[in-house]
Amino acid sequence: MEIQSIFDEIQSLSAFELFRLQSAIYKTLEDPERVKALRQKIHVGMKVDYFCTERNHAIPCSVLKVSRSRVDVEEHDTQKRWSLPFYSLNLDHIETELVLPRTKGISKATLFIGSTVGFINNRDNTEHIGQVTKLNPKRAVILVNNTPWTVPYSMLFPVISCGSQEHDQMLLPR
């Protein structure tokens, strides 16, 4: 099943229809047979990704403990530990990035903490490039040279980084 096509379809649903869909999905996720089947797939030491709804991004982690309905994991990058429901693990390696067709700006659904984006300051018409540090309902917080900017999603544009930014790269002598 392609998540992107489902995501595209639900864009036209009313708030109530989305609420009903959320309720049905939650009941399906909490179904005891489904939980049991997921528990059987998970084992201590397993390397997986979990989807962090706060950061809107898949996070690589290792399984530390498997309980009755939850799993304890440790993030590879930060060593933070979390207790998560089984269904938050991406056991089938499904693509988590969603792309919204928009004419202006970037959708909150396509951003994640750490995304590199840019915007143009309307006051002095200067371009700024930074990393997303927080996703609020209407605006993102973008860190530019250690200064946080609160910017509406409609003003953001994607920045494709090649990984050789001058301030991050240092040539070492042989």
* pLDDT at residue 159 in the model: 85
| Single-letter code of the amino acid located at 21 | L
* pLDDT at residue 106 in the model: 83
d(CA 134, CA 63): 27
pTM, full prediction: 0.59
* Nearest residue to 134 (alpha-carbon basis) of 151, 157, 156: 151
Using an 8 Å Cβ cutoff, are 133 and 141 in contact?
yes
Using an 8 Å Cβ cutoff, are 94 and 3 in contact?
yes
* pLDDT at residue 98 in the model: 64
Per-residue pLDDT of the chain (174 residues; tens, 9 = 90+): 577 778 778 888 888 999 999 999 999 999 999 999 999 999 999 999 999 888 878 999 999 999 999 999 999 999 999 999 999 999 988 887 766 555 577 888 888 898 899 998 888 888 999 999 999 989 999 999 999 999 999 899 888 765 544 444 444 454
* pLDDT at residue 165 in the model: 46
* pLDDT at residue 90 in the model: 94
